[in-house]
Structure 1
Amino acid sequence: MSSTTAPAFIQTSLDDLDETLQQTTFTVVDLETTGGRAGTDAITEFGAVRVRGGVVLGEFQSLVDPGIGISPFVSVLTGITDSMVIGAPPAGEVLLSFLEFARGSTLVAHNAPFDVGFLRAAADAGQIPWPAFPVLDTAVLARRVLTRDEVPNCKLSTLAAYFHATTTPVHRALADARATVDVLHGLIARLGNIGVQTLPDLKAFTSKVSDAQRRKRHLADGLPTSPGVYIFRDERGEPLYVGTSRNIRSRVRQYFLASETRSRMGEMVGLAARVDPVECSHPLEAQVRELRLIAAHKPRYNRRSKFPERQVWLKLTEEAYPRLSIVREVSDDNARYLGPLRTQRQAEAIRDAIHDAVPLRQCSDRLSLRRRVRAACTLAGIGRCCAPCEGEVSPAGYAELADLVALAWSGDARPLIEPLQLKVEQLSTAQRYEHAGVVRDRMAIVVRACARMQRIGSLTRIEQLVAAAPDGSGGWELCVVSHGRLTAAGVAVRGRSPWEVIEALLTNAEAVRPGPGPLPAALAEETECVLRWLEQPLTRLVQTSQAWSHPAFGAGSLTLAGYANEGQANDRRRREMDPFADRRRLPLLSRPAR
């Protein structure tokens, strides 16, 4: 009885299906130009070599009429003069021939962003579609392969000499492309000893991703391709980093395979044990969930939106004679608030600007309607305080000043800004330009803070709002917002009635109990994120319980251009003032002995 051995079948990986570097076709390109700015300067010469497996398949070379003059410096450097390019074809015509020559290959260049930038600029100028070429930069590859002990730098001339290139680069396109071919072959020969055999391996090697990061790429397996949030967690399950993407799997894979240049991300990936996805209906929901997760867990590798409790507020106190106070949180005390402000310094600048415009008291004493102090502070003597402690102003008059400030925060900002603008003009007329610049900068900070608060407040006042935006494929992205907080999100795919989805969202929306202050239900960053989505050109309001409106004369209607122009005029007048313009040249009467 004879027996036969069954053939062994081996499951190959996706990496095994890639072409080896020996089978990959490279087009090594070099350009000569009139300068270093793509889009402003122009190409003067094309040079390219098509190579595969160490064998040259063809060469391409052409001078180009740049349409502009070539400077003497460039002519000396490259040897290309205006007379040489007269009658040469334009860049668009040569580019079409080059794209046909390079079709189906990987582009290679030394300092590739320079050459590819000029190629794409020429394609845009000629309205030529740019193919999606894979691009390899020999300069980047050399920095990863060679050490400083081997080469002092990674210039093409240095590398050509190191690898004994058969052609010396002389700042002519074809010669430089031939030299780059020899450099490329020398670098690939070095990489073969460390297991770099395919083009994906080569791209992964040139990226700044550590071996520890590459070993963790299995963490991306099985993740969804939908929009949402991803959470890197350590072995104990603690969140390390929270991010968001339109395609969770694709984004997470970039931490292991693509060029991740942030060193702290490499450290984070080294500690990660798993990645948890949170699928979302559309990108807005993903962004909001990211903000909430970061604020709740404060992952150590997140920097943005990590400590919302550190923002400050400017408070107009609720007492007989209100004053401005900088506080860390909003209380349910019927006081009026401006904010949130990002830093203590910003809050102090706004407070000082308001004191410049309105003579509110700046002391911390508790004053009552019955208490009077006969000795006022220095601020009252210089007109910076209306001195309620001495009874110089009635309670009703002082209340009008406080209401003017509160109105600027929520409505008409002109009565607060106009005194500051007048003060800038007066200081400029008196040639006190430094002081005028300080007041101007404070005024700009006040306008921006009031505009931000009014913009946020316009949404937080609405009890419930439903909006829709097209998803780009015939459907609708839907959201429900209550007091500035996203309470429900969904998608009505093409062919399904949006009203059915809206009814389900309203039924299952989160119940919101508004709290005190300008942000009754959400963080400022979440409300601003929702506002950006609502203000997109194609977003539509479906339902709203109150009108979504901004004050007619609010801070958002004030332009800062006039203030900036005034400040620039002040700076110009200050430069024109030369106190020594009439000073005669003094003769040298004596010289100190050495």
Structure 2
Amino acid sequence: MLNLVESITTIPCATALEAQVRELRLINERQPTYNRRSKRQDRAVWLTLTDETFPRLSIVRGAESLRDERGWMGPFASRLEAEEVVLAIYESQAIRQCTLRITTRSQAHGSTCALFDMGRCGAPCTGVQSQDNYAQIVAQTRTLMRIDSAPVLKQLDAKMAAFSAEQRYEEAALIRNRRTALHRAASRGSRIRSLTKVAHLVAGRRTFDGGWEFICVRYGRLTGSAVCAPGFDPEPTIEALVMTAEVLVERDQVLPHSSHEECERILDWLEIAGTQLFDLDGLWTSPVNGSAVPRQSTEGAVAGLLDAQRLR
């Protein structure tokens, strides 16, 4: 690679977070040949409910088609991880698994499948299940995707414990993998959703030499950062940061002004011990059973899940 270098251009950054975010944006913009990570930020895998009379779960690439009112989860490390979450949801929700578009005409000629006989689907494809009844299942699915996945996690815990008690360890491991994927997806989606709804946020923390570093975030995008030297009043630094920060407008999108990687990088910074909130426009909240659940309980199992996927 050194033989290919013609020149080096430096971009001074006020903080380490700003440097990390600028790197993410440059990788996404320039698509460097020898970079693999972060080159396809706009092609991440997500899970959503389709926009039709009888919605179904759909795995998609890119966040452009996602809408909060329909419900979504993610992003996922791979399509395989998303498929594990789909299977986990099917364990508790009788949402249809077929991919056909249901119309009045198709219902007249439809026939029930094995899932209906097993009690795992109400057969809306044949008109056996009404639109209102199916809408209740969709509402429950949307709730677990957006707000509260705890009931599904508890069901998976019980099933995993039952398999283990019967020494059916391979089946228990499959349920564990699905639970891990679901928990992680719910946490990631909830964290991203909470930050992208905040119109303006200023946070800061002490530096190792006694000074301050500050960041300004708007709709999940880093719009500026600044440093205040030790011994100086930080208030003028904050005021200057707010005045010079990038101006953004609200958009009806899941990721209105940034990538999910930038969002999560900012969130990691905000969650470091000692970080203080100095200014906030709006509410920055998370569901109790969304991102507030201990993420550490899932991270330890993620490596095992990815290893299991590679062995398939």
Mark yes or no: TM-score above 0.5: yes
Counterpart of 2:305 in structure 1 is none
Q: Could you tell me which amino acid in structure 2 is paired with residue 409 of structure 1?
A: M
Write the distance in 1 (CA, Å) between the matches of 2:87 and 2:98. 13
Match of 1:481, SS?
Answer: strand
Write the distance in 2 (CA, Å) between the matches of 1:311 and 1:301. 19
Write the distance in 1 (CA, Å) between the matches of 2:86 and 2:174. 13
Q: Return the offset for 1:296.
A: 0.6
Contact in 2 for aligned 1:318/1:335 (Cα 8 Å): yes
Counterparts of 1:79-478 in structure 2 under 5 Å? 268-329=1-62, 330-331=64-65, 334-368=69-103, 372-373=107-108, 374-478=110-214
TM-score where L is the length of structure 1: 0.47
Contact in 1 for aligned 2:184/2:295 (Cα 8 Å): no
Q: Return the offset for 1:358.
A: 1.0
Counterpart of 1:191 in structure 2 is none
Contact in 2 for aligned 1:331/1:516 (Cα 8 Å): no
Q: Return the offset for 1:517.
A: 4.0
Gaps of 5+ in 2: 302-312
Q: Return the offset for 1:430.
A: 4.6
Q: Could you tell me which amino acid in structure 2 is paired with residue 326 of structure 1?
A: I
What number of residue pairs does the alignment pair up? 297
Write the distance in 2 (CA, Å) between the matches of 1:281 and 1:453. 29
Write the distance in 2 (CA, Å) between the matches of 1:307 and 1:369. 40
Q: Return the offset for 1:416.
A: 2.2
Q: Could you tell me which amino acid in structure 1 is paired with residue 139 of structure 2?
A: D
Write the distance in 2 (CA, Å) between the matches of 1:556 and 1:495. 36
Counterpart of 1:546 in structure 2 is 282
Q: Could you tell me which amino acid in structure 1 is paired with residue 246 of structure 2?
A: E
Match of 2:47, SS?
Answer: strand
Write the distance in 2 (CA, Å) between the matches of 1:488 and 1:473. 21
Match of 2:213, SS?
Answer: strand
Q: Could you tell me which amino acid in structure 2 is paired with residue 354 of structure 1?
A: I
Q: Could you tell me which amino acid in structure 1 is paired with residue 89 of structure 2?
A: I
Question: Superposition RMSD on alpha carbons, in Å?
Answer: 2.5
TM-aligned CA distance change 1:327 to 1:296, over 3 Å: same
Contact in 1 for aligned 2:187/2:295 (Cα 8 Å): no
TM-score where L is the length of structure 2: 0.86
How many percent of aligned residue pairs carry the same amino acid? 38
Match of 2:96, SS?
Answer: coil
Match of 1:401, SS?
Answer: helix
Write the distance in 2 (CA, Å) between the matches of 1:482 and 1:445. 29
Counterpart of 1:56 in structure 2 is none
Contact in 1 for aligned 2:57/2:97 (Cα 8 Å): yes
Contact in 2 for aligned 1:294/1:306 (Cα 8 Å): yes
Contact in 2 for aligned 1:320/1:395 (Cα 8 Å): yes
State which drifts further: 293-302 or 515-524: 515-524
Task: Identify which of 537, 541, 561 aligns with 2:273.
Answer: 537
User: Larger relative contact order (C-alpha < 8 A, sep ≥ 6)?
Assistant: 2
Match of 2:17, SS?
Answer: helix
Write the distance in 2 (CA, Å) between the matches of 1:343 and 1:317. 20
Q: Could you tell me which amino acid in structure 1 is paired with residue 264 of structure 2?
A: E
Gaps of 5+ in 1: 1-267, 566-594
TM-aligned CA distance change 1:561 to 1:294, over 3 Å: closer
Contact in 1 for aligned 2:227/2:237 (Cα 8 Å): yes
TM-aligned CA distance change 1:450 to 1:426, over 3 Å: same
Match of 1:438, SS?
Answer: helix
Match of 2:29, SS?
Answer: helix
Q: Return the offset for 1:410.
A: 2.1
Q: Could you tell me which amino acid in structure 2 is paired with residue 282 of structure 1?
A: T
Counterpart of 2:309 in structure 1 is none
Q: Return the offset for 1:528.
A: 1.2
Q: Could you tell me which amino acid in structure 1 is paired with residue 25 of structure 2?
A: R
Q: Return the offset for 1:408.
A: 1.9
Task: Identify which of 219, 225, 243 aligns with 1:483.
Answer: 219
State which drifts further: 324-333 or 367-376: 367-376
Counterpart of 1:501 in structure 2 is 237
Write the distance in 2 (CA, Å) between the matches of 1:336 and 1:287. 30
Write the distance in 1 (CA, Å) between the matches of 2:180 and 2:160. 12
TM-aligned CA distance change 1:561 to 1:498, over 3 Å: closer
Q: Could you tell me which amino acid in structure 2 is paired with residue 301 of structure 1?
A: Y
Write the distance in 1 (CA, Å) between the matches of 2:132 and 2:153. 22
Q: Return the offset for 1:290.
A: 0.8
TM-aligned CA distance change 1:269 to 1:331, over 3 Å: same
Write the distance in 2 (CA, Å) between the matches of 1:559 and 1:287. 23
TM-aligned CA distance change 1:350 to 1:407, over 3 Å: same
Q: Could you tell me which amino acid in structure 2 is paired with residue 320 of structure 1?
A: T
Larger-gyration structure (1/2):
1
Measured against aligned partners, the alpha-carbon deviations of 1:304-359 in whole angstroms (never above 9, x if no partner) come to 21221331111111221110011112226653221222211111111122112211
TM-aligned CA distance change 1:467 to 1:441, over 3 Å: same
Q: Return the offset for 1:399.
A: 1.8
